[in-house]
Amino acid sequence: MISEAVDLWDPEPGWLNTASYGLPPRPTIDAMHAALDEWRRGVAPWTTWDLSTGRARAAFARLVGVPVDTVAVGATVSGMLSVVGAALPAGARVVVPEIEFTSNLFPWLVHADRGVQIDTVPAGKLADMIDARTDLVSFSIVQSATGEIAAIDEIIAAARRHGALVVGDASQAAGWLPVEAARFDVLVCAGYKWLMTPRGAAFGYFSPAVWDRFRPLQANWYAGEDVPNSFYGPSMRLAASARRFDLSPAWFSYVGAAPSLELLTEIGVDAVRAHNVALANRFRAGVGLPPGDSAIVSSAIVSSAIISGDRPDAADRLAAAGVRAAVRHGRLRASFHLYTTEADVDRALDALA
């Protein structure tokens, strides 16, 4: 139940910026404090902290509905996508929305000099722009600046028709919107937003069909088939599964990731979605927008204020009222997660009134 679980968070009122970073529940902070204390005193082997990596991987797999051996752990979205970009042959064509967070754009653009063609197209036209020449389409399931939910069915159908790989970025979706990773060839997700992990934990679903297709460029001991026996020795012996794409983990990020993810799966994404969208719609109604379906609201309130001059201090007034939101493309971006309350929303609306 969200109403009970919410007692595990202690935000200062007015945090409307989970799209930048999510806030941890107390079990997450407690686990991190305990591990940091063990580190300080040198009383635990790293393998103790690493148990959390396995727990986080399993909870993420549950969250997006795939077997655990299809999930790799990493540190950033861009790092995980670098493996996919490097596998594109010269002359490959990649289609990406024209407004897209650059962690899902630069990993493709960096290959332009060897003849990889990147076409950035309007988000609403993504499915239409996939054709027989397309090798890969990559898009955010929820757009980070606008909160728009991508037309997943149409995009995947078009990609499958033309044999293009489908890469999804679930960083602004997983944790509040149900995500079925198995529909994608690769699905990446930063942990530090809606999954409420520390920065330094990211997850990647790699479908079995691509395991042999991508070179595990970050090959390391932790990605070995038998980790304790992968510390030394000349022969290459990476895991047969998606674990071959693992980065050796930032221990304390994963110590915090496990409790957050486990709590999230316990509460259930459907309940989180209902809660978040209801609050987003309360905010939308307050600023004169029709109801929407996203936990992220982009409102022209900041830019129109600047243009018309009638509310020159919209952003300042929010800040003065203790509301922490973001400005993206000259628009106010407010985001609502399970620890957000109606009082947080009303605080923002009062400041804007």
Ligand X SMILES: Cc1ncc(COP(=O)(O)O)c(C=O)c1O
> For ligand X, which is the closer residue by CB, 81 or 314?
81
> For ligand X, which is the closer residue by CB, 76 or 299?
76
State the nearest-atom distance from the C-beta of 91 to ligand X, in Å.
Answer: 26
State the nearest-atom distance from the C-beta of 192 to ligand X, in Å.
Answer: 8
State the nearest-atom distance from the C-beta of 17 to ligand X, in Å.
Answer: 11
> For ligand X, which is the closer residue by CB, 52 or 82?
82
- Pairing between strand 186-190 and 202-206? antiparallel
Binding site for ligand X (CB under 6 A): 76-78, 101, 103-104, 140, 144, 169, 171-172, 190, 202
Alpha helix stretches (DSSP H) within 131-192: 152-162
> For ligand X, which is the closer residue by CB, 100 or 135?
100
What is the identity of the amino acid at 50?
D
> For residues 348 and 123, what is the distance between their CA atoms, to the nearest angstrom?
29
> For residues 299 and 284, what is the distance between their CA atoms, to the nearest angstrom?
8
> For ligand X, which is the closer residue by CB, 20 or 230?
20
Q: Which residues pair with 331 in a beta bridge?
A: 328
State the nearest-atom distance from the C-beta of 329 to ligand X, in Å.
Answer: 13
> For residues 142 and 152, what is the distance between their CA atoms, to the nearest angstrom?
10
> For ligand X, which is the closer residue by CB, 73 or 352?
73
Alpha helix stretches (DSSP H) within the chain: 2-5, 26-41, 46-64, 77-86, 106-109, 152-162, 251-267, 269-286, 301-308, 314-320, 342-352
Contact 242, 71 (CB under 8 A): yes
State the nearest-atom distance from the C-beta of 107 to ligand X, in Å.
Answer: 9
287-294: long-range pairs with CB below 8 Å, 24+: 287/349, 287/352, 292/147, 293/149, 294/142, 294/147, 294/148, 294/149
State the nearest-atom distance from the C-beta of 230 to ligand X, in Å.
Answer: 26
Q: What are phi and psi of 201, to 5 degrees?
A: -120, 125
State the nearest-atom distance from the C-beta of 271 to ligand X, in Å.
Answer: 23
What region does 323 belong to: left with phi over 0, alpha with psi -120 to 50, or beta? beta
State the nearest-atom distance from the C-beta of 200 to ligand X, in Å.
Answer: 9
What string of DSSP letters covers 228-253?
GG-SS-SS--B-SSGGGGPPPP-HHH
Contact 247, 83 (CB under 8 A): no
> For ligand X, which is the closer residue by CB, 28 or 82?
82
> For ligand X, which is the closer residue by CB, 198 or 224?
198
